[in-house]
Amino acid sequence: GNEVRFRLDSRMPVLPHWPYCNAAKRFSSVVMTKTDWSTWNDLQWRRRMETFGDDDRPVLAAGPEGAVDTVCQLGELTDRGRETTLALGERLRHLYVDQLSFMPKIISDADMIYLRATPMPRALDSVQQSFVGMYPSSARTASFPPPTIITRAAADETLFPNERNCRRFSQLGRAFAQRTADRWNDSKEMDYLNSLISKWMPEGGQRVAVDSHPRLSGIMDTVNSTLAHGPKTRLPSPFYDPKGRDIIDKIGTEEWFSGYKESQEYRKLGIGALVGDIVTRMVGNAEGSGNDGLLEVAGIDGDLGKGRGGESGIKLALSGCHDTTLAAVLSSLGAFEGEKWPPYTSHIAVELFKDESIKTEDAMPTEPAPRQSFLGSSRKKTKPASLMMRKPTPELTAEEKAKLQGHYVRLRYNDRPVTIPGCKLPGNHLEGDETFCTLQAFKAIADKFTPRIWTDACVEGLDEPAFPISPEPAGF
């Protein structure tokens, strides 16, 4: 089984007038065509961007060679981004449809697939591109209904570290960022960066620093974005110095992700709610409670609980998120050591397996067989929901623990299996392969940084120190 979370691909950085968005020539919007709400249609339209001219009069924004119909909005998914997220969907089809026969070749609806995106438009675009890559029009029936895509209001979003809507996490983020600035701003590495690029900094060549304006991480983002596109929008060549890029990557990764490696509270507030949701669906699958996401995506015109094609469980989930999401999840599970900042279209897959040979709690596993996605359930009937999914592992009864037996979780980052430190311990993995973590061990690790109520946790401890008193290593 599988849930795939991927970061958005190439997007326009904070530089004006990139001509890399051909989608702007062929947008489509839903419009009402009868005042009694009975009829709706699509309005196709093209976008042109307007800006200020030299004398403040309105002029069309244009790319370096005068293009006006393909100019991107700031942060928009570019043609290159659409290309690579489409290719990701095609790779997922090759793996889960062609090679493993886990997903069907042709679908009449998408109610066995949980699709979700953050409120940022490029996240929604990325999910749609990946879905179409996995299931192009030739793999969907003529009567295929609109797939459901789940979104949340920004205040409720947990698909990325939500610093703006979590006061305590904002405090922690500032503290770890300041520590990084104190450690690196006057270093020889920062001196080297300044020798390369400080003359292009605003305000007469201010010093490049972790907390400069723009911040060092913002410079990294712009360098990476421009590298992914054509030469007409490149920065001066010193920005692409290999040694300089390595330094920027190392410092940026420390600034943004060291908190997840060192602080249980940082993990809990930054990404714990999302990891808790992942565990909820995995456990819901294992116990057959039906808490697998079907309720959210399935149903006809407001009816919930069963797929439009009779589906009784979710098999696959695709979530369009961000680089900070992927690194936060991996770092919180102790699986991001020595890694660089996630490249564009990076993805993590969290897979749930079921050892069909397990008949009793004490039976020994042989080799795990793929199960329906950890977001899904292969059972025909849905049992009443329980509180088991969110119950901390130490509080589980023996009967509840027995339901987790024979289930294994594997984490893959950009198609490469990674190992969670706590899963290496005896009894916490499939014999002979430490990348297959027992579901019970995985849940126990995740439970330690899953908030009971995230919104409450975000306003607690506001007067407490930002750094833990003693080490709190991730992944155990």
Residues 87-126 pLDDT 10s:
999 999 999 999 999 999 999 999 999 999 999 999 999 9
Of the listed ranges 106-120, 250-264, 347-361, the least confidently predicted one is 347-361
And the tokens for 205?
């060549």
Identify the pLDDT of residue 15: 59
Q: Does 184 have pLDDT greater than 90?
A: yes
The CA angle 274-275-280, to the nearest 5 degrees, is 95
Distances (CA, A) of 363 to 368, 402, 439, 443: 13, 11, 15, 20
* Cα Rg, the chain, nearest whole Å: 24
Residues 389-399 pLDDT 10s:
788 999 999 99
Residues 38-97 pLDDT 10s:
999 999 999 999 999 989 999 999 998 899 999 999 889 999 999 999 999 999 999 999
Identify the pLDDT of residue 204: 65
Residue 357: pLDDT band by 50, 70, 90 thresholds? confident
**Phi, psi for residue 327 in degrees, rounded to 5:** -65, -35
Identify the pLDDT of residue 137: 97
Contact assessment for residue 69 and residue 48, using Cβ atoms and an 8 Å cutoff: yes
Identify the pLDDT of residue 360: 41
If one compares 366 and 128, the residue with the highest pLDDT of the two is: 128
Residues 279-288 pLDDT 10s:
998 888 787 7
Contact assessment for residue 332 and residue 267, using Cβ atoms and an 8 Å cutoff: yes
Residues 5-40 pLDDT 10s:
665 555 544 457 899 999 999 999 999 999 999 999
What does the alpha-carbon distance between residue 393 and residue 389 come to, in Å, rounded to a whole number? 9
Q: How many CB atoms lie within 10 A of CB 147?
A: 17
What mean pLDDT is predicted for residues 232-254?
96
If one compares 293 and 204, the residue with the highest pLDDT of the two is: 293
Q: Does 329 have pLDDT greater than 80?
A: yes
Percent of the chain past pLDDT 70, that is, above it, reads 90
Q: Is the peptide bond before 417 cis (omega within 30 degrees of 0)?
A: no
Residue 387: pLDDT band by 50, 70, 90 thresholds? low
**Phi, psi for residue 97 in degrees, rounded to 5:** -100, -55
What does the alpha-carbon distance between residue 425 and residue 437 come to, in Å, rounded to a whole number? 10
Identify the pLDDT of residue 232: 87
**Nearby residues of 53 by Cβ (< 8 Å), 6 or more positions away:** 59
Give strand pairing partners of 319.
5, 116
The CA angle 171-322-304, to the nearest 5 degrees, is 100
Percent of the chain past pLDDT 90, that is, above it, reads 75
What does the alpha-carbon distance between residue 47 and residue 161 come to, in Å, rounded to a whole number? 32
**Average of per-residue pLDDT values in the chain:** 89
What does the alpha-carbon distance between residue 26 and residue 189 come to, in Å, rounded to a whole number? 46
Identify the pLDDT of residue 159: 95
Residue 198 buriedness (CB in 10 A; 0-12 / 13-18 / 19+): middle
What does the alpha-carbon distance between residue 253 and residue 264 come to, in Å, rounded to a whole number? 18
Q: What is the 3-state secondary structure (H, E, C) of 273-300?
A: HHHHHHHHHHHHHHHCCCCCCHHHHCCC
Query: By three-state DSSP, how is residue 3 classified?
Result: strand
What does the alpha-carbon distance between residue 253 and residue 263 come to, in Å, rounded to a whole number? 16
Residues 420-451 pLDDT 10s:
999 999 999 999 999 999 999 999 999 999 99
Q: Does 337 have pLDDT greater than 90?
A: yes
Identify the pLDDT of residue 203: 75
If one compares 314 and 320, the residue with the highest pLDDT of the two is: 320
Contact assessment for residue 347 and residue 414, using Cβ atoms and an 8 Å cutoff: yes
What mean pLDDT is predicted for residues 206-219?
94
Token match 């090679």: residue?
Answer: 99
**Nearby residues of 52 by Cβ (< 8 Å), 6 or more positions away:** 58, 59
If one compares 368 and 227, the residue with the highest pLDDT of the two is: 227
Of the listed ranges 274-288, 318-332, 382-396, the least confidently predicted one is 382-396
And the tokens for 54?
């030299």
- Give the CA-trace dihedral at 96, 8, 449, 368, to 10 degrees: 10
Token match 């507030």: residue?
Answer: 269
Q: Of 8, 467, 3, whose CA–CA distance to 261 is shortest?
A: 467
What does the alpha-carbon distance between residue 142 and residue 22 come to, in Å, rounded to a whole number? 27
And the tokens for 210?
């972790």
Q: No. of H helices and E strands in the chain? A: 14, 14
| Cα torsion angle, 17, 20, 26, 31, sign | negative
